[in-house]
Amino acid sequence: MATNTTKTSAEIDAEIKALRAEKRAALRAEKAAAKQAFLDHAHDLGEWLAEVAKVTTAEGVLRLREVLDSDNVKAYVEKSMKVENATTPEAANAVSAGHVSDASSASHEASGGHDA
């Protein structure tokens, strides 16, 4: 004998409602995880940058931020990231070949006006 496993429309509606709630919860969890991952990586980047710049004091961190907060450095980083994130091989080659404008002035300014 075969048993009838047909669900009623009310049962299906209840399952749909439960699935929608589960989906919303999953989306919230994914969003929270992505935000936390960003914050973790941003923190790691800051620690790495301080280590590379040999900064060991709060005053040193503030000075490093001042140095990096120049228009030339910000423009260089922004252009480098745009080219780095480009999908064409030509764009990637431009970064590796050093064909990003303002690179020398940005690195000159980042080094406090001293040549590296």
Question: pLDDT band at 93, cuts 50/70/90?
Answer: low
pLDDT single digits (tens) 10-31: 999 999 999 999 999 999 999 9
Contacts of 77 (CB under 8 A, 6+ apart): 106
Residue 95 phi, psi (nearest 5):
-70, -50
Residue 16 phi, psi (nearest 5):
-60, -45
pLDDT single digits (tens) 101-110: 444 444 444 4
Mean pLDDT, to the nearest integer, of 77-99?
67
